[in-house]
Amino acid sequence: MTEKFEPVIVGFTCNWCSYRAADAAGTARMKYAPNVRLIRLMCSGRLDPSFVIKAFATGADGVMISGCHPGDCHYISQNYKALRRYLLLRRTLAGFGIEPGRVKLVWASAAEGLKLTEEINAFVEEVRALGPLNWPKWDGAAEVFESELAPHIATEVPA
Amino acid sequence: MSDEKKTPKEKIGVYVCHCGTNISAVVDVEGVRDWVQKNMAGDGVVIARDYKFMCSSLGQELIEKDIKELGLTRVVVAACSPHLHEKTFRTAAENAGLNPYLTELVSIREQISWVHTDKAVATAKAKSLVAGTVKRVVNNEALEKLKVPINANTLVVGGGIAGIQAALEIANGGFHVYLVEREPSLGGHMAQFDKTFPTLDCSACILTPRMVEAGTHPNITVLTWSEVTNVSGYIGNFSVTIKKKSRCVNEELCTGCGICIEKCPKKVIDDTFEAGLGYRKVIYTPFAQAVPNFPVLDQPNCTYFEKGTCKACEKFCPTNAIDFTQQDQILNVEVGNIILATGYDLFDASRMTNYGYGRLANVYSSLEFERMSNSSGPTNGHIVLRDGKTKPETVGIIHCVGSRDKNFNNHCSAICCMQSLKFAHLVKEHTGATVYEFYIDMRTPAKSYDEFYQRIIDEGTVFVRGKVAEISDIPRIPDEEGKLIIQVEDTLVGKQRRIPVDMVILSNGLEPRADAKQVGKLFGISCSSDGWYIERHPKLDPVTTMTEGILIAGCASGPKDIPASVSQGAAAAARVMDKILQKEVELEPVRATIDEDKCSGCRICNNMCPFSAILYIEDKGVTRVNPALCQGCGTCIAACPAGAISGTGFSDEQILAQIDGILMAV
């Protein structure tokens, strides 16, 4: 009997909509898969794509990004910027050989606790189907940086 | 962000809350405490404690004591959502001399104990989230709140009873209010009603004094026939553009004598105020007590605008106030706070085709009935059929039209039961007819409401519990000839019934305004899935929104009766006064800052900011952020290819460390 694979998922949520949707889901005691661990950002536009890479490199099997519905952004239009970065990021990940399905963008308003939990449950199953990411573990990055990259970066600092 | 802060030299206190059993029933609180104590000492955790209620004064004292005695430099509280108690714990830390922004809250209740059931998994997740926040808090910086002066003027949008109340409260407190109303007069829906439940006060008698007070108040600028077209800025400093539509009447000269209305030769159906039951002139005030009482010329219907002749109004105006060339005016006002009291739309009953509204002549909407029973209405208060003379002998009143119905709106419109009872009383009083009420559930919870229900029962109204299936004019037996037949399942008897009546009154539900979403966008607030504006907290903060400085009152946030709308108007006003009296407003110091040494002047960030907070300095070749305009979304930070922008409160260092922490092996 093999044990069911439990994916680890990091979720980046907007402070104004989906983080509050998670609060709403909690208040209403809606049960959902415990695989997701949320990090609060002020806006989905704050999501630096390198956070996603970092999460994968540190052990996440999937990353969920959630923001306000198009047109409802607390900061007017920043969720569109998140959308652009998301689409680019998926292509970049595909180039690395990582299934684009390991990243998911979800729109969930503060009122949509139920929607958020359904999206989380669905995403957990999708990532479960993809299996563990098995990001290669190699800790020589700092060494390479020191020996090869750092001198070049130092020369770029303007006088 | 400086390097020394990254070294695990901080002294961190971690506090895990049981929240009674809200958390401890699912999460092994002591287990989390011990794990943190044991595994995170290297990150600087010097003490980990658990307590029954961290938010209690004893819980807060625990933190304050540790800060003073153990010299804590960072605090992590694992309890409820930061939206609930972040302020509580930050204030506690501040009281003990620690900068409030060095305290973080981890939501292990909303995100774990309330939504997961497996104790082992939930406890492991709690450890991960706490670890993430411990690693994050090490990178937190001490921040100072930004203080900006607050403009003492207020904008109130919507001149119904909620908006009028809010405007009067603030104006009486000595501060200026701009009261903007889309229609030609203040008054809103309340001005259309005849009586108000449960007291049966005449609606106009209690409303018009308030309208006049608002209209003449030295601290209120009333702008009717006007709409807000643009809003920019933030709490304390909003710039608002208002379009004052052309009335073709010079308000400086007009005395409101009404001669132009009398002389205007053209009548059109009044779809707005008279709900399509009556007529109005092309130059008109919606009703006799309108505030202000300057008429509005309905340009699309005016003979002069259509054919170039007539000008009767101009000819007879004793003060030469008619101005056919008048243009829309654009006004700019500066305000510190904005109250939205934009009200509701009535559910369009013709969408429920089985009730025949719009097809069967003697099926009336609630608003039509209000106008009909109003003595200044189109029938002079006579309750008659569409032929204009026949008094009905039997009347059916149907509840929940478009409310509590999966096909239309799930919500209860809150006012329809009481409104229907009022209708039953008025029908009886005016006509002596037999009245049937068809209800699903009777909801009469407020003061004196159930007593009113009892009174209507005692008056002999027949109550049938069941949702009406259909209203038809096709008779099956001679008694049904010429009648409207109401087909309903009487659920108390358990039988289908066909009840012939002369007149049907529908109790239309309340819906969000058709343009609520666009208006919300204009002011930067959002609607819930059913279309009403979302309150900051549905119970504890019902008149504020997620956007600081934008408040909501009355039916804008959901169906309400008059007392509730008035209360909300006053509550929103109190909130605004509170802000004005503080003279300056504190803004969260979550802001972007640019390290000019690292900025290459590529200007990629310049297009990222929707608030124009990012400025390119030509001569220095770098970009700067204006902290007063920056709202702290962080989009520019994520866009900067040089990593030159950092965000206070949500820096890369904080977030990357948090990722490390939440993915730690537990």
pLDDT single digits (tens) B499-518? 999 999 999 999 999 999 99
A42-65: average pLDDT: 95
Name the B residues in 536-575 with CB < 8 Å from any A CB: 546-547
What was the pLDDT predicted at B2? Answer: 44
Q: Does B132 touch chain A (CB under 8 A)?
A: yes
pLDDT digits (tens, 9 = 90+) for B263-312: 999 999 999 999 999 999 999 999 999 999 999 999 999 999 999 999 99
Chain B nearest C-alpha distance from A86 (Å): 12
**Chain A interface disruption, residue of B22, B86, B133, B526, most A CBs within 10 A:** B526
Q: Which H helix or E strand runs over A5?
A: none
pLDDT digits (tens, 9 = 90+) for A89-111: 999 999 989 999 999 999 998 88
**Chain A interface disruption, residue of B635, B645, B660, most A CBs within 10 A:** B635
Q: Does B114 touch chain A (CB under 8 A)?
A: yes
CA B431 – CA B425 distance, rounded (Å): 10
Using DSSP's 3-state secondary structure scheme, residue B439 falls into strand
Residue B1 pLDDT grade (very low, low, confident, very high; cuts 50, 70, 90): very low
Q: Taking CB atoms and an 8 Å limit, are A46 and B634 in contact across chains?
A: yes
pLDDT digits (tens, 9 = 90+) for B582-596: 999 888 899 999 999
Name the B residues in 581-600 with CB < 8 Å from any A CB: 590, 597-598, 600
CA B650 – CA B666 distance, rounded (Å): 25
In a domain, A1, yes or no: no
B164-171: average pLDDT: 98
β partners of residue A36: A9
In a domain, A22, yes or no: yes
What was the pLDDT predicted at A1? Answer: 46
**Chain B interface disruption, residue of A78, A112, A120, most B CBs within 10 A:** A78
Chain A nearest C-alpha distance from B133 (Å): 9
What was the pLDDT predicted at B404? Answer: 96
pLDDT digits (tens, 9 = 90+) for B222-252: 999 999 999 988 899 999 999 999 999 999 9
Q: Which domains does chain B have, with CATH numbers?
A: 3-144 (3.40.50.960), 154-343+565-581 (3.50.50), 347-511 (3.50.50.60), 592-647 (3.30.70.20)
Residue B5 pLDDT grade (very low, low, confident, very high; cuts 50, 70, 90): very low
CA B642 – CA A58 distance, rounded (Å): 23
Burial of B572 (0-12, 13-18, 19+ CB in 10 A): buried
Strand duo B462-465 + B434-439: pairing: parallel
Chain A nearest C-alpha distance from B429 (Å): 45
Which domain does A36 fall in, by range?
9-156
- CATH at A85: 3.40.50
In a domain, A4, yes or no: no
Q: Does B620 touch chain A (CB under 8 A)?
A: no
CA B449 – CA B429 distance, rounded (Å): 19
CA B599 – CA B643 distance, rounded (Å): 8
In a domain, A70, yes or no: yes
Using DSSP's 3-state secondary structure scheme, residue B216 falls into helix
Backbone angles phi, psi at B381, to 5 degrees: 85, 5
Residue B203 pLDDT grade (very low, low, confident, very high; cuts 50, 70, 90): very high
Chain B nearest C-alpha distance from A129 (Å): 20
A98-125: average pLDDT: 95
Q: Which residues from A are below 8 Å from B111, CB to CB?
A: 22, 26, 38
Which of A10, A71, A75 is the closest to B633 by Cβ?
A75
ipTM over 0.85: yes
B119-142: average pLDDT: 96
In a domain, A3, yes or no: no
Q: Which residues from B are below 8 Å from A76, CB to CB?
A: 524, 610-611
- Total domains, chain A: 1
Q: Taking CB atoms and an 8 Å limit, are B132 and A81 in contact across chains?
A: no
What was the pLDDT predicted at A159? Answer: 52
B348-361: average pLDDT: 96
CA B89 – CA B61 distance, rounded (Å): 10
| Residues 6+ away with beta carbon under 8 Å from B56 | none
In a domain, A137, yes or no: yes
Q: Is it true that the peptide bond before B198 is cis, omega within 30 degrees of 0?
A: yes
Name the B residues in 507-536 with CB < 8 Å from any A CB: 521, 524, 526, 528-529, 534
Higher pLDDT, B612 or B340: B340
Nearest CA in chain B to A84: B639
In a domain, A30, yes or no: yes
What was the pLDDT predicted at A156? Answer: 54
Q: Which residues from B are below 8 Å from A71, CB to CB?
A: 521
Which of B125, B649, B662 is the closest to A34 by Cβ?
B125
In a domain, A123, yes or no: yes
Mean pLDDT, chain B, whole residue set: 94
Q: Which two tokens stand for residue B328?
A: 């829309």
Radius of gyration over every alpha carbon of chain B, rounded to an integer in angstroms? 31
What was the pLDDT predicted at B612? Answer: 84
Q: Taking CB atoms and an 8 Å limit, are A43 and B634 in contact across chains?
A: yes
What was the pLDDT predicted at A158? Answer: 57
Question: Do residues B256 and B294 touch, judged by C-beta distance below 8 A?
Answer: yes
